[in-house]
Amino acid sequence: MRIAIIGHQGQLGRALQRALADHELLGLDLPEYDITVPEPLQQALRVFGPQVVIQTAAYTHVDGCARDPGRALRVNGLGTQNVALACQTLDAALLYVSTNEVFAGDQEEPYLEYDPPRPINPYGYSKWVGERFVEQLCRRFYIVRPSWLFGGPSSFVSKILALAQERDELAVVDDEFGAPTYAPDLAEAITGLIASHRYGIYHLVNEGWCSRYDLAVAALELAGREVPVRRIQLADYERSSTPPPRALLHNFCAAEALGIRLRPWQEALAACLQQE
């Protein structure tokens, strides 16, 4: 299968290249290919003729999105529109990687795939706009929502471990909850999803959930870092964005229809730190 990966140099893009190594791949990324500039992207896709396009490229700096919501919409919204239009022209299936932040995070139970999105910050809103373009413009599409992606240098886990080398104590919020998702596990799940040709919306996260505090403590323990971690509240942590406090995702559709399940996040975290 011919598969184009947009954003192939990111943490998920790199994992996808490994998971899809048996296929014919085309990687597109900055600076040569900017999804907000459609012509070079469309030309490269037209020459390659992909059967599937995986759109991972995004402006993911959540606080940056809050400070510049226009940029967030240009990249995550209109940039995804450009990708969707290219797929429409080529009749290629599009897999768009979204986020748990399309939900408000104000309910106790985990969100199912077709629960109504209600983003509460500019990042989540811009990613939801991307979802809408995909649904409106593409005949065949997958929308995949992970959460708290880790496995690369810019993830929460990596930042916690880096801070532990610089500080005598860390302060981490214990009232924001999510399902940590390991990039290589997500890439394997996406590989299975593409092979199924079963289009739709999917929540692909490692099993289980935790608070930011729980994740930080687990990462430090597995890495052998003896740094005390103090619990704080979201209200105590000043930042530009407002994260959804409980945007837990339930992998229902992929698990029930396809048997695609990701291992518990604790096992994935241990594998990640052992690999690094």
Residues with a known catalytic role:
123
Q: Which residues pair with 3 in a beta bridge?
A: 25, 52
Residue 24: what are its φ and ψ, rounded to 5°? -85, 115
* Cβ contact 250:206 at 8 Å: no
Each as own residue / partner, the long-range contacts of residues 260-263 (CB below 8 Å, 24 or more positions apart, any chain) are 260/189, 260/192, 260/193, 260/204, 261/207, 262/181, 262/182, 262/185, 262/186, 262/189, 262/204, 262/205, 262/206, 262/207, 263/185, 263/206, 263/207
In SS3 terms, 146-197 reads as: CCCEECCCCCHHHHHHHHHCCCCCEEEECCCEECCEEHHHHHHHHHHHHHHC
Distance between alpha carbon 210 and the CA centroid of its chain, in Å?
A: 17
Between CA 244 and CA 52 the distance in angstroms is 31
Sign for the pseudo-dihedral over CA of 171, 174, 175, 178: positive
